[in-house]
Structure 1
Amino acid sequence: MLEFPGGVVAVVSLVLAGLWIWRAFSQKSYDPPTPPGSFGLPFLGETLHLLYSMKANSLSEFFESRERRYGPVFKTHLFGRPTVVLSPPLGFKFLFSNHGKLVESSWPAPMKMIMGDKSLFFMEGQRAKSFRHILMAFLGPEAMRRYVARTSSIAQAHIEKFWLDGSEVRAYFLVKKALFSVVFNLFLSIQNEEEERELLVPFEEFLHGLLELPINFPGTKFRQAKLATGKIFGKLDKFINKRKVELQEGKASAEQDLLSVLLTTRGEDGELMSEEEVKQNILMMVLAGHDTTASTLAVSMKCIAENPWCYDRLRQEHLAVAAAKDSSEPLRLEDLQKMNYTWKVVQEAMRLVPPALGNTRIAITHMTIEGFTVPKDWRFMWSVFQSNRRSAFFPEPDKFDPERFNGSSGLIPYTYVPFGGGPRICPGNELAKMLLRVFLHHLLTQFQWSLLDPNEHIQMAPLAAPANGLHIKLSKNPI
């Protein structure tokens, strides 16, 4: 008789038991029924298909194919949870307007396992409101006034050093480097390239593991991301200890940077953030303030290069801004407010190539939607890839047309939501707007550029990025 080792028998037994549980779970009945759809493979669901669609730049098809088959409300299984997908605009409106009533934020489990659970991403209720109050002391529109000149000076110095006439560069990587310099300065007052490099490598490893399957084995991206987070927190511990001393001795101000703001600003509950909360929220802000902005900036540059007429119109806008200033004077908030067409171009770039997938919510109560049951603790997903390329919302959706955003074009509400919506709209949207306009100003007033690989595609990994780094040739075009 053939015999098997006890370990093999145990593994097979667990797999069979898991399959039985999955089958029972998948076939559980409700009245009314849950939305139509498929839970996909046992355990994995449709997670691998979603991840593949991100890397293959086919996310719109991932959602549209299921909507064609199942309708505007369908179920799937992603990152370990049954998930209901609601189509815009009514689906987006439902999720944004019912936050805190029927739904709450719910990020993929790997993100919480890597980042920790004390950032604003993972908070709800009064605690989230209190933390948002603290962050807005740094991120609000008026707070931006303090940081525009610093950002302008850093961007200008970076371009003068690394963007050379006639050179061929991978623009995406230069953009990331420039924005890291800005973010590290605004967040931690870092002005030393060596300190920047020490944080840059672990931040990249952290980012690349955020949406991987949570397999904590040596060599996996998930494991590398967890180790990278530990390195980042170790370095932030040193910054925090040093800053506390500087604040006590009057060598640093409470408004100097994000670190000072987080250490000195009390929330609406009168409490200061703990050191662990400070570290996790700085990590969150680097993710929200740097990587999505770098993605949007690179895609905007690609769209501008593909449409020379757009470059000409942008340049006129920025030459007018520059002409009203002394050549050595950094930008001010009032200058950014004159860059209306620039912001239209960025909005259209984000529509064509969104920097991020979207987000999820979790049902905090059993509910019925459109005649279907959604059990408590099921997830909802909303994604900008469900709306941004639909002709019903955006005529000629594949056409680059910044005039869609001229203010009188009548965009349908809840169809264009690059920063989310409702009470959990991205708190860093004003920071992103500032960074994008400042950098584009310095680039447009000094250079024109052409694509060396016109067919280079954009992939989500996990944020949108040019597959080969946006290979361009620079041509000096100074004021």
Structure 2
Amino acid sequence: MMEIFSLFLLLVILFISFTIFFFFSKAYKTNPTNENLKLPPGSTGWPIIGETFEYIKMVRKNCIENFISERQKKYQSKIFKTSYIGQIMVFMCTPEGNKFLFSNDSKLVKPWYPKTFDKIFGQSDNTLSESPEEIASIRKTVATFFSQPEALRKNLGIIEEIAKEHLQKFWDGKEEVIAHPLLKNFTFTLSCRLLLNVRDLETIKELEKLFSCIMAGIISLPVDFPGTKFNRAIRASKEIRKKFEVIIRKRKVEIMENVGKWEDSSKDFLTLFIVQKLKDNKEVIESELAVTILGNIVAAHDNSSTTLSSILKYLAELPEVYEEVYREQMEVANSKGNEEALSLEDVKKMSYSWNVASEALRLQPTTASTFREAITDFNFDGYRIPKGWKLHRAVHATHKNSEYFPEPDKFDPSRFEGNKIVPYSYVPFGGGAHICPGREYARLQILVFMHHLVKRFRWEKVFPDEQMIRNPILVPAKNLPIRLHHHLE
């Protein structure tokens, strides 16, 4: 027995030693032929672990900007390197850094995702970084469905229909609601309708439960052991993709049997995508399309629900801001008939409301980071970035920096009036080739829901001091219970 234990201990020591050797040989051997390269300043911390735990600590407190500013001061540099999630990571912390990454996608850098993404989404090492041609094709389809004027008009009607149904079912007649789960239900129901044309409430409820498991595991510790968040996320992803494949298979048969009706393909994203593939004589691979659909739901659902939660939080805390939003939305409402639907022209009149949403996105960006990988050696801001190093577009570094936003912790929607914003300092939707193609759709979701919500209610937080935290994604600490006060007719 003792011999077996000793052998096991020896194997563990050998494994750890090999891992450390591999890490150092791969991550730190950048260019042995030139020892005078000026690399970004910084510390890589502990082997393998690096400064990951310090970063996560700040993430959970929702003060990532402190992690960044401490290192900028320490190294007297606006960019710095660290070791995060097992990778040497350069934090790009300026508008110039944002612009550089946006303008050099597929030239000097490419998208990079942690290994956890590959495992959860069932991808090989390279599938999540498809060829530029395939990415462009997917983005074109997404843009067609979510951004073109005709599509926006159609989507607006569906968004308003679902928003009104949701408020009537879950909010009207209530004295108190727990807002965040309800907002997630609204945006998920909408995603299922627009992306898949799924309307059955039981199916949506089942899919939402699986989706919640996936989101909880995406940034969890990558321990694939039964009972862990990561393991549950992997299993939930497999199950939800199987369900999507059944829907895709059925939809493909329907389309093939109704070839003459191909042009009537704008009713949902899945139909549009399949039709476009068939028109281009390309194979529709159900497993790949299921991942594409899942990725779009990740982007469309969680970000919008979190933004709405942030908006409700600030409107409860700042009655003067609420009053201005209410005034604007009632002007729109009073200009229309009782049951008359909103138009795109009405949405354009909601400029102050969108400034409020923009300020919420500045203070509480839904995504803390996106990652890129250097595909060749290059220089930036006087520093050399070696091929293979990872780059982190640190949203908080500019959003909450007084150099670009005076009094950065103050909620001030007037920042977004006129042309006051320093270019590339405000980047909630990214930029360049990888700018969010659904940003106009997100704008419609948020403004339509705000319109119908403030027409009905004002509200107050049950827990006045409740804050937004990252656990690991951005959420209200106690799910934002609010007391509703119905407007008198």
Q: TM-score, normalised on structure 1?
A: 0.94
Identity of aligned residues (%): 35
* One-letter amino acid matched to 1:176: K
Whole-Å separation in 2 of the counterparts to 1:155 and 1:272? 36
1:223 aligned onto 2:228: no
Determine the structure 2 residue equivalent to 1:18: 19
When structure 1 is superposed on structure 2, of 61-70 and 247-256 the one drifting more is 247-256
Whole-Å separation in 2 of the counterparts to 1:176 and 1:159? 13
When structure 1 is superposed on structure 2, of 100-109 and 343-352 the one drifting more is 100-109
Residue correspondence of structure 1 range 312-461 to structure 2 within 5 A:
312-408=323-419, 410-461=420-471
CA deviations over 1:331-369 (Å, ceiling 9, x no partner): 222221211111100000111111111201110101222
Determine the structure 2 residue equivalent to 1:150: 158
* One-letter amino acid matched to 2:130: M
Match of 1:168 among 176, 190, 202: 176
* Contact kept? 1:304, 1:310, Cα under 8 Å: yes
In structure 2, list runs of 5 or more residues that go unmatched: none
CA deviations over 1:427-447 (Å, ceiling 9, x no partner): 111111110011111101111
Determine the structure 1 residue equivalent to 2:70: 65
CA gap 1:269/1:215 in 2 versus in 1, 3 angstroms? farther
When structure 1 is superposed on structure 2, of 210-219 and 297-306 the one drifting more is 210-219
In structure 1, list runs of 5 or more residues that go unmatched: none
CA gap 1:237/1:19 in 2 versus in 1, 3 angstroms? closer
* Contact kept? 1:263, 1:273, Cα under 8 Å: yes
Question: Following TM superposition, by how much is the alpha carbon of 1:31 offset from its aligned partner in structure 2, in angstroms?
Answer: 2.6
CA gap 1:21/1:316 in 2 versus in 1, 3 angstroms? same
* One-letter amino acid matched to 2:97: G
Determine the structure 2 residue equivalent to 1:201: 209
SS state at 1:11 partner:
helix
Question: Following TM superposition, by how much is the alpha carbon of 1:310 offset from its aligned partner in structure 2, in angstroms?
Answer: 1.1
* Contact kept? 2:122, 2:238, Cα under 8 Å: no
SS state at 1:31 partner:
coil
Match of 2:188 among 180, 205, 210: 180
* Contact kept? 1:169, 1:472, Cα under 8 Å: yes
Whole-Å separation in 1 of the counterparts to 2:27 and 2:446? 45
* Contact kept? 1:186, 1:258, Cα under 8 Å: yes
* Contact kept? 1:172, 1:470, Cα under 8 Å: yes
CA gap 1:236/1:21 in 2 versus in 1, 3 angstroms? closer
* One-letter amino acid matched to 2:8: G
Residue correspondence of structure 1 range 153-302 to structure 2 within 5 A:
153-165=161-173, 167-250=175-258, 253-266=264-277, 271=282, 273-302=284-313
SS state at 2:459 partner:
strand
* Contact kept? 1:164, 1:474, Cα under 8 Å: no
SS state at 2:218 partner:
coil
Determine the structure 2 residue equivalent to 1:305: 316
Determine the structure 2 residue equivalent to 1:477: 487
SS state at 1:326 partner:
coil
Determine the structure 1 residue equivalent to 2:6: 5
CA gap 1:141/1:341 in 2 versus in 1, 3 angstroms? farther
* One-letter amino acid matched to 2:160: S
When structure 1 is superposed on structure 2, of 272-281 and 424-433 the one drifting more is 272-281
Determine the structure 1 residue equivalent to 2:97: 91
SS state at 2:376 partner:
coil
* Contact kept? 2:196, 2:270, Cα under 8 Å: yes
CA deviations over 1:179-207 (Å, ceiling 9, x no partner): 11111111122222111111011100011
CA gap 1:340/1:141 in 2 versus in 1, 3 angstroms? farther
* One-letter amino acid matched to 1:64: S
* Contact kept? 2:81, 2:90, Cα under 8 Å: yes
* Contact kept? 1:92, 1:382, Cα under 8 Å: yes
SS state at 1:207 partner:
helix
SS state at 1:305 partner:
helix
Determine the structure 2 residue equivalent to 1:136: 143
* One-letter amino acid matched to 2:139: R
Question: Following TM superposition, by how much is the alpha carbon of 1:280 offset from its aligned partner in structure 2, in angstroms?
Answer: 0.9
* Contact kept? 2:255, 2:275, Cα under 8 Å: no
CA deviations over 1:46-87 (Å, ceiling 9, x no partner): 223222322221211111111111221211112222111122
1:54 aligned onto 2:59: yes
SS state at 2:296 partner:
helix
* One-letter amino acid matched to 1:80: G
Question: Following TM superposition, by how much is the alpha carbon of 1:24 offset from its aligned partner in structure 2, in angstroms?
Answer: 5.7
* Contact kept? 1:130, 1:267, Cα under 8 Å: no
* One-letter amino acid matched to 2:112: S
* Contact kept? 2:404, 2:425, Cα under 8 Å: yes
* Contact kept? 2:58, 2:64, Cα under 8 Å: yes
CA gap 1:371/1:472 in 2 versus in 1, 3 angstroms? same
CA deviations over 1:145-192 (Å, ceiling 9, x no partner): 111111101110110111134511111111111111111111122222
SS state at 1:101 partner:
coil
Question: Following TM superposition, by how much is the alpha carbon of 1:249 offset from its aligned partner in structure 2, in angstroms?
Answer: 4.1
* Contact kept? 1:203, 1:228, Cα under 8 Å: yes
Question: Following TM superposition, by how much is the alpha carbon of 1:313 offset from its aligned partner in structure 2, in angstroms?
Answer: 1.0
SS state at 1:354 partner:
coil
Match of 2:45 among 8, 18, 40: 40
Question: Following TM superposition, by how much is the alpha carbon of 1:407 offset from its aligned partner in structure 2, in angstroms?
Answer: 1.9
Whole-Å separation in 2 of the counterparts to 1:383 and 1:141? 30
SS state at 1:265 partner:
helix
Determine the structure 2 residue equivalent to 1:80: 86
* Contact kept? 2:27, 2:88, Cα under 8 Å: no
Whole-Å separation in 2 of the counterparts to 1:300 and 1:280? 30
Question: Following TM superposition, by how much is the alpha carbon of 1:462 offset from its aligned partner in structure 2, in angstroms?
Answer: 3.3
When structure 1 is superposed on structure 2, of 438-447 and 455-464 the one drifting more is 455-464
SS state at 1:412 partner:
coil
* Contact kept? 1:31, 1:373, Cα under 8 Å: no
Whole-Å separation in 2 of the counterparts to 1:287 and 1:162? 23
Question: Following TM superposition, by how much is the alpha carbon of 1:398 offset from its aligned partner in structure 2, in angstroms?
Answer: 1.2
Whole-Å separation in 2 of the counterparts to 1:26 and 1:289? 35
SS state at 1:209 partner:
helix
SS state at 2:482 partner:
strand
Question: Following TM superposition, by how much is the alpha carbon of 1:36 offset from its aligned partner in structure 2, in angstroms?
Answer: 1.6
